[in-house]
Structure formats: structure tokens, C-alpha cells
Structure 1
Amino acid sequence: MYEVWWILWCPTFNKKRADDKGLENSLCVMRNLSYQLYMELPPSVRLHLEGPTRDYASRDSATIGCFTMYSKKNPEPQGAEWLWHPQVVVLYKLVLQNKDISSSSREAAIGALQNITAGEGRWSSVLSGVMMERERMLPILLDLLDTNSDMELRPLTGLLRNLARHSTNKDRIAKNMVNVLVSKLPCDGLQKMPSSEVVINICGALNHLVTCSCVAASDISYFNGLPKLVGIKTFHDNSSGSLKAARAASTVLYNMFQYNKLHKDYKLKGFVRRDFTDATI
């Protein structure tokens, strides 16, 4: 764990360091160790992070309490705490900001971030807030979507799905995220790239936004996401992955139709009720 932090902060962290195999290996270890992290934690640690109850007044107040909890006792993460401490987000941010970093290192860092923001628990929400509010990482992540590497897109879109779930201001994140996500969707479910897993993640992120934000539904329509979603739902090869993608697209469409004030806009674009409500997949 400490090797990664030392390499990143070392004054000689240049292109040679960015390609360092030790850095790549360390990041891969951190990604692997953080997989299903909250299920694997000892009960005492889980209670420490999640608290005795999930009935909190707000995510922001919980976040402040979490930083206070750590800063008073241990200013620096100790041992395994590197896996879930808020400070580790800074580490991953440095990796993703470095243009000379290897694809494998970038993929591992994204995968680790996906792991520590997964699920509906309090701590995954806290770390999502650290990424979004304190470290302002959304623009960095959205820029990284400009790739055709499915190996990178799978964890990246999974991470964005987590962030969309935990965001407390769905309207604001929709204004930044919807256009880029829609641009990555294929025209229908018959295309092989991006993979079904990526399509499912994108639809999942869009759905987290749409269920709470009319702005998200409107932006999907504005940025020509409707023909793509309908195409994914309607045209597929009946494989397991494409059927799951079709159901994911169908769910987004169904929830978009719940905003009655947008029906006129949908109709003007040539879409009718059955495009949104027919879920016989």
C-alpha cells in the first residue's frame, strides 16, 4: 500500500515512474483487495464505517463526521485502512490525471474506485461524495470515456453508475453526465461494441438519474438518446448479455415516460407510448 503512495508523491514521479511495473502491480493488488470490500470487512470495522443505523439526517453531515473520526485518531491511514480511507481517493485521482500512466494501471485504479463506491452502504456513499464534492473527479472520469477500450470502459461506466446512484443532486450531475453517456451508447443491441456490460452500466447510470430528475429525462431526449434506447430494447440477438441490456434500456424508457410534461417532446421526436411502456423482452 505504502509503495503506491510513495511512488505517486515522489518528486521523480515522471513518465518513467508512470510506467513503473511496481506501481501497476500495487494498484492491481489494491483493486483485487477492495473487491466486495464491505462484505469482507470484520464486523467491528463495518460497524465503525456504517454506524449502528442508516437513518442519517444527510449524507453531508455523515461525511463531516467521518473525516472528524479519522483526523482525530489517525491523520494517516494505517495498514488495511488504505483500502477505504478517504485519502486513498487522492491517490487514485493522481493516477488518473497522469497522461503517461499505463492502461493497466489506469484500469486498476478505476476498478478500485468502482469497488469502494459499490453498494448502497453509508461508506460507499461517503467515498462517492469525496470523489464528487471534495476532489471534483467527475470531469476527469468523463474525459476518460473517450476510449474504445472495453477493458477500461467496463469499470469506468460501473464507477459512473455508482456515482449516479449516490449523488444527492441528480439534476446537477445529469447536466454534466447525460450527454457523454448517451454518446457512448450503440444504435441498437446488435452491435458488439461497446459490450453489453458497458451498455448495462450506462443504462443503470441513466436510470439512477432519471428516477429522480426530470432534467435527466429531458437531456436524454435532447441528446438523441431515445432512438438508441429504443434500438437497444428492440433489436438484439437474444443472447444473455443483449437481453439484459434490452431490459436495462427498457427500464430507462419506462421511467422517462413518468414525466408527463415531456410527452409532447417525445411525440415531436416520433416516439409513442408503446416505445416507452412495451416491456415484452
Structure 2
Amino acid sequence: MLQHQFPSVQSNAAAYLQHLCFGDNKIKAEIRRQGGIQLLVDLLDHRMTEVHRSACGALRNLVYGKANDDNKIALKNCGGIPALVRLLRKTTDLEIRELVTGVLWNLSSCDALKMPIIQDTLAVLTNAVIIPHSGWENSPLQDDRKIQLHSSQVLRNATGCLRNVSSAGEEARRRMRECEGLTDALLYVIQSALGSSEIDSKTVENCVCILRNLSYRLAAETSQGQHMGTDELDGLLCGEASGKDAESSGCWGKKKKKKKSQDQWDGVGPLPDCAEPPKGIQMLWHPSIVKPYLTLLSECSNADTLEGAAGALQNLAAGSWKWSVYIRAAVRKEKGLPILVELLRIDNDRVVCAVATALRNMALDVRNKELIGKYAMRDLVHRLPGGNNSNNAASKAMSDDTVTAVCCTLHEVITKNMENAKALRDAGGIEKLVGISKSKGDKHSPKVVKAASQVLNSMWQYRDLRSLYKKDGWSQYHFVASSSTIERDRQRPYSSSRTPSISPVRVSPNNRSASAPASPREMISLKERKTDYESTGSNATYHGTKGEHTSRKDTMTAQNTGISTLYRNSYGAPTEDIKHNQVSAQPVPQEPSRKDYETYQPFQNSTRNYDESFFEDQVHHRPPASEYTMHLGLKSTGNYVDFYSAARPYSELNYETSHYPASPDSWV
């Protein structure tokens, strides 16, 4: 009947197939075996709009879910992706455009189709959907862009598709970075949503996650980073290593005394090498991008958006590229450190993990390290499990990845800074770290034990503090653990449900104790390999709002998913296959899909993908904006920024936040 001579019969047949295959993978597979996908793809070039609508609806259901990757590949083999692109170009019907982008979003969850989707659809999605609907440039939609941003399911679908494919690897990132207008439009969407209820929307979440992925390995994958010379890197490393010891000896003896390079921007005054406003790919790393990210972190209540924004700053601040130096200074200038520290108190494991690692990268800046050690130490320590506070359920519930991230941040903060090591001792961190390091893998994974042990080992290097340690009842035994013991612990069975990963605390130029300073020449290798603690986002399959449906009038469903990242530097923000709900009082059957994590382990170049099931859920209507976001102004109170939101699940830690007296260090 799909080949019937009457268009009305073809349309009804496609609509009935759409109804039949809703939530039934067996029927979906049977339709594929009977050649139905090819016939539906052929209908995409039909002359009748109603046929287009029914064919797209059926295809969207057929390619929904991880279990139907065979259908997705079959659609691609039938020439479905170019056919969808042709239809998207020629149609002006908003519902059909929404259906086409929905099919593409579902297809983008399949690893094998990510690069074909980028090759065939990137330019069309950018120029025909994202730029016009974002309101960027002089488009007809600019006057009512906020209304469009709120109501544009097409924009939501298109950004969701690009979010998935942005994790397809270096070539995918390169193509997306070089796509004219894409970065500008994504940033424009974010900036347009700031200060409105749309800041928590799925569209903004998708845009942030795309930008996070595109911010990954910028120094290594862009021409600007690759052209950075050895002398320039040495100068930047000298500037970063300037401390009390560096002032006397310098990175290379007296070479430190040469004239200060113009690239050593400290957040004050004009930015070097920026005569003109940034545009295109330059906007990804320009310090002006820091302010929108920080605004998101201070106002948004969407955990995935918070994780994405923190992860973007984490990526931008990683390594010793000159723009990473500028980003770290810009975060300090924009009062971003208190915002990041505040997020350590949120009762969300993934957000805390991303924020802790971002703070670790910020601490590569000497001034940031001093500020974090002075004002954030108590928050970091209270995120460690153990200690006398037995009711600290929030810390107990943290994943090994998050605990490791906090330990690595503490290690960076105390490295080459004795005052910070003393602050860690004053905050009660030794007791918790010793408890972790001596657990011998019984309570914590080997990577957590090793991370805590390395912090303790670095603390023991400060001879002037050993008397304080001994006064508190600690001995060298508590601080120094042999590497052989740690390696033996790594071989022991681990009872936790989580799979331990390779330890991220490998000795590197950025992770050394005070007794083993890294030379600038050693750190030059950062240009050629992946930067420490830099992460990319996942493609994350989409389930979300409009995928399978039985008719155009069916109600929508949304997906509410929880994510558990398996590696500290992985980012899994959920985009899911899209789906409609049947008009029925019966519960919606669960249909699993997949979340594809492209994870980059610290200090390694390998990538791994991890699958995790999604499930369908009934739509939960968002409460009114007045109830959903109750953001106070960004006013300083002591040394923290007061911006609590009623929608944020702050952790109920049993301690009082200490406010320090005002100081000239520009913490707030």
C-alpha cells in the first residue's frame, strides 16, 4: 500500500505503520525485513506534503532506540540521510521540519552514522535551522527570537543531533569548528537565554554540551595551537610557575628576569593578540566566553547544563596553551572562583566532579591556587568521605570518580604551596585522606586510594609542617605509602559496583610533589598529547521529547534520566532518542536506548565508549517560572557569592560555611 497510486492511501499506510511499530521492536525489525524502510524513504521525495508527514513519522519510530541500530543503518543504506536533507531544504512546513530533524536526532545516536550525518547534514542544519531559529544575524526570526527559542522544537532537535555527533572524534570536531556561523549561533542562543526561564531549557543544554565538546583539545587540534612555538611556551610556563621559589631561580636560571612577555595577561587591561572582536572558531577560546559560562553556572538549575558549562571551563583552562593561561586569569577577573566553589555544595555527583576538576585546572594559575587554597579548602575537604562526621551522607554517596577528582584538585592546590598544605591540615583533611589511603581497597577503589596517598605524600614533603603533623598524632607512616603497596592493592578484588579505571594520578608535569618540580622542557610535551584533566562530552543518545507517536495530536513525553559517569573526565549529558506518547491511559512501555560516552582517561590518548540504558517516562510539567527559579542577585557576602536557587539540590552537609574577612585578593 506504500506503493499505491493514490497519495491518500500511501499516507494512511505510513501512518498505520507508525502506529503499529510504536514501542514494539519486533514489528520494527519485521518492517525492515519486508523492505518497508526503503519504501518509506522513497516517499520522502513524494510531491504531497501529507505523505511526507506520515513517512517521516513512521521513520522516526522505526529508528528509535538502541535496539534498532540495524534500522538506522538500513535507513542510511537506503539513501535516507540525503533524502531527509533534500526534504529539509525544500519544505516550509514547520511540522515536517520538526519530524525530519527528529529522525536525524534518532539516527545520530548510532556510532556508525555520526560521520555520515556530519558529512551530509552539518551545513544544512546550521544554515537552514540553527542560524535562522537562533536569531543570530539579521534573520526574519530575530525580532521574536525569545519566543522562537522557547517554542522551536526544530532548533531543539537540530542541536540535539549535533550534540550527539560532536563526540565522534577529532575529525567531527574539526568540521564543526570550521562550519561557518555554527559557533556564533550556539553562543547567541545561550546569551539570549540568560536571565530568562529558558536558561534551563533542553536547547540551551544541547548548545552548552556542543560547545564543551568543541572546546576539547583546542590547543592540539587547531592551527593556532599547533603554531605555538617552544619559546612562547617556555615563557608562559615561566609565568605560570612564578612563586617564591621561582622568583629567585626562575624556570631556566636567570632567564626569568627577561622582559615580561605580552602574552602573560593577568586579567587586567587589554588582551594581547586581540585587536578585533573574536568571531567563529576564535570565540571558542576567547576569554569573553568565560562570562556566559559563569552566568550559566550561577543561575541555571539544569544539572546537565551545569556539568556542561563547568566541563567547558575545565577544557579551556587545561594545559599551558596561552589561551588557557588567559582563561584562568579571566575566570579570576570575572569572580568565577567563588561560583565554582559554591557548586561543590550541590547534591549532584556529576556536577561536583566536573566543578572539582575545573578548579584543579584553574589552580594551574599561581594566583588562583592561592585563592582556592585560602577560601575553598574547607569545601573541598568536606567533599571527601570519612572523618568524624558520620552523618555526611552526601560524601558517602559520591562516586569514586568524584572523590578522585577532589583528591587531584587538593594535590594540585598544595603542590609548591606550603600555606595551602597547612590549610588542608587545618580543615581536617589529613584524617579523611588517611582513612581513604589506609582502606586498602576495602571501601574505595585503587584509583581513589592512590589519589589520596599522593596528596598525603606531597604534604609530607613540607618539612616545616611535620612538627604540626606529629603534634596532631600523625607519623610518617600515615603520609608515605610505598608504590609497591599501592600496586598490590590495585590487584586486589574490588567489591564496589563501579568498575575502577586506570588511576588518573600518574606522575606528570602537572602532578608532582614539591620535591620533584617539573621543568618547562618536560611540559612542552603537553602540546603533542592530550592535556591533563581535559574532557570531551558524550554524544549521549536522545530519548527526549518527540520521537514515536501515533498521530500528530498525540501528547509529548519528556525524558528524565540520571547519569553516572564511569570516568572522572567523561561527560555524559543525556540526549536521547525522541519519542511521543500514545493517547492512552495505560503506562508507556519502557524502551531502552543508549547513552554513548566518549571518555578520555587522564594522561592517556585512548577513547572508550560506554553504554547505559535510558527509559521512557511520563512528561512532568515544569512548575511556573516563579516557583522554578528563585535566583537572588549576585551579591557578595563575606568571601562567597550569595546566589542560592530554590531549584538547586544543595547538599545538606553538617558544617557551617565560614566567611572570611574581606581581603584585597579579589575573591569576590
Q: 1:218: Cα distance to partner?
A: 0.9
Partner residue of 2:374? 175
Are 1:112 and 2:291 counterparts? no
- Is contact 1:50-1:122 (8 Å) kept? no
Q: CA deviation at 1:8?
A: 4.7
Structure 2 residues without counterparts, runs of 5 or longer: 1-182, 241-260, 388-394, 487-668
Gaps of 5+ in 1: none
Distance 1:169 1:113 in 2: 14
- Matched with 2:397 is 193
Give the corresponding residue for 2:206: 25
Deviation at 1:38, TM superposition (A): 2.1
Task: Show CA shifts across 1:206-236 (max 9, x none).
Answer: 1122221111111111111011101111114
Partner of 2:352: 153
Tell me the secondary structure at the aligned position of residue 345 of structure 2.
Answer: coil
Return the letter of the residue paired with 2:456: L
Distance 1:21 1:46 in 2: 32
Going from structure 1 to structure 2, the CA distance change for 1:142 and 1:169 (only over 3 Å counts) comes to: closer
> Do residues 41 (structure 1) and 242 (structure 2) align?
no
Q: Counterpart of 1:6 in structure 2: which amino acid? A: Y
Q: Deviations over 1:55-109 (max 9, x none)?
A: 2263584244982311x1x22x2111121111111110121121x4422211111
Deviation at 1:5, TM superposition (A): 3.7
Equivalent residue in structure 2 for 1:265, among 463, 468, 473: 468
User: Structure 2 matches for 1:266-281, cutoff 5 A?
Assistant: 266-279=469-482, 280-281=485-486
1:79 aligns with 2:280: yes
**2: CA distance between counterparts of 1:211 and 1:107?**
26
8 Å CA contact 1:84–1:116 kept in 2: the answer is: yes
Cα distance change on mapping 1:173 and 1:46 into 2, 3 Å: same
Matched residue SS, 1:270: coil
Distance 1:13 1:170 in 2: 29
Q: Distance in 2 between matches of 1:182 and 1:142?
A: 12
Q: How far is the alpha carbon of 1:14 from its aligned partner? A: 4.0
Is 1:214 matched with 2:413? no
Q: Secondary structure at the match of 1:194?
A: coil
Residue 137 of structure 1 pairs with residue 336 of structure 2:
yes
Quote the Cα distance in structure 2 between the aligned partners of 1:271 and 1:186. 19
**Is 1:89–1:131's contact at 8 Å kept on the other side of the alignment?**
yes
Alignment of 1:7-18 (within 5 A): 7-10=189-192, 13-18=194-199
Q: Aligned with 1:53: secondary structure?
A: helix
Does residue 247 in structure 1 map to residue 446 in structure 2? no
* RMSD of aligned residue pairs (Cα, Å): 2.6
Contact 2:189 2:207 (8 Å CA) reproduced: no
- 2:291 counterpart of 1:90: yes
**CA distance in 1: counterparts of 2:463 and 2:398, whole angstroms:** 32
* C-alpha contact (below 8 Å) 1:165/1:205 kept by paired residues: no
Shift of 1:35: 2.0
Change over 3 Å in CA distance of 1:13–1:256 after alignment to 2:
closer
CA 1:47 to 1:194, structure 2 compared with 1: closer, same or farther past 3 Å?
A: same
Partner of 1:164: 363
TM-score, reference length from structure 1: 0.86
Which residue identity lines up with residue 230 of structure 1 in the other structure? V
Shift of 1:192: 5.8
State the match for 2:508 in structure 1: none
Q: CA deviation at 1:30?
A: 0.4
Q: Aligned with 1:69: secondary structure?
A: coil
If the length of structure 2 is used for normalisation, what is the TM-score? 0.38
Aligned counterparts of 2:469 and 2:317: Cα–Cα separation in 1? 34
Instruction: Kindly indicate whether residue 331 of structure 2 is the aligned counterpart of residue 122 of structure 1.
Output: no
Q: Which moved more, 1:60-69 or 1:245-254?
A: 60-69
User: CA 1:6–1:203 in structure 2 vs 1: closer, same or farther (change >3 Å)?
Assistant: same
Is 1:223 aligned to residue 223 of structure 2?
no
Matched, 1:2 2:184: yes
Tell me the CA shift for residue 262 of structure 1: 1.6
Percent identity for Structure 1 against Structure 2: 32
Asked if structure 2 preserves the Cα contact closer than 8 Å seen for 1:8 and 1:94, the reply is no
How many residues align structurally? 270
Structure with bigger helix share is 1
CA distance in 2, matches of 1:233, 1:252: 10
AA at the equivalent of 2:430: L
Question: How many angstroms apart in 1 are the aligned matches of 2:396 and 2:378?
Answer: 21
**CA–CA distance in 2 between the matches of 1:48 and 1:39?**
10
The aligned residue for residue 22 of structure 2 is: none
- Mapped contact 2:194–2:295 kept (Cα < 8 A): no
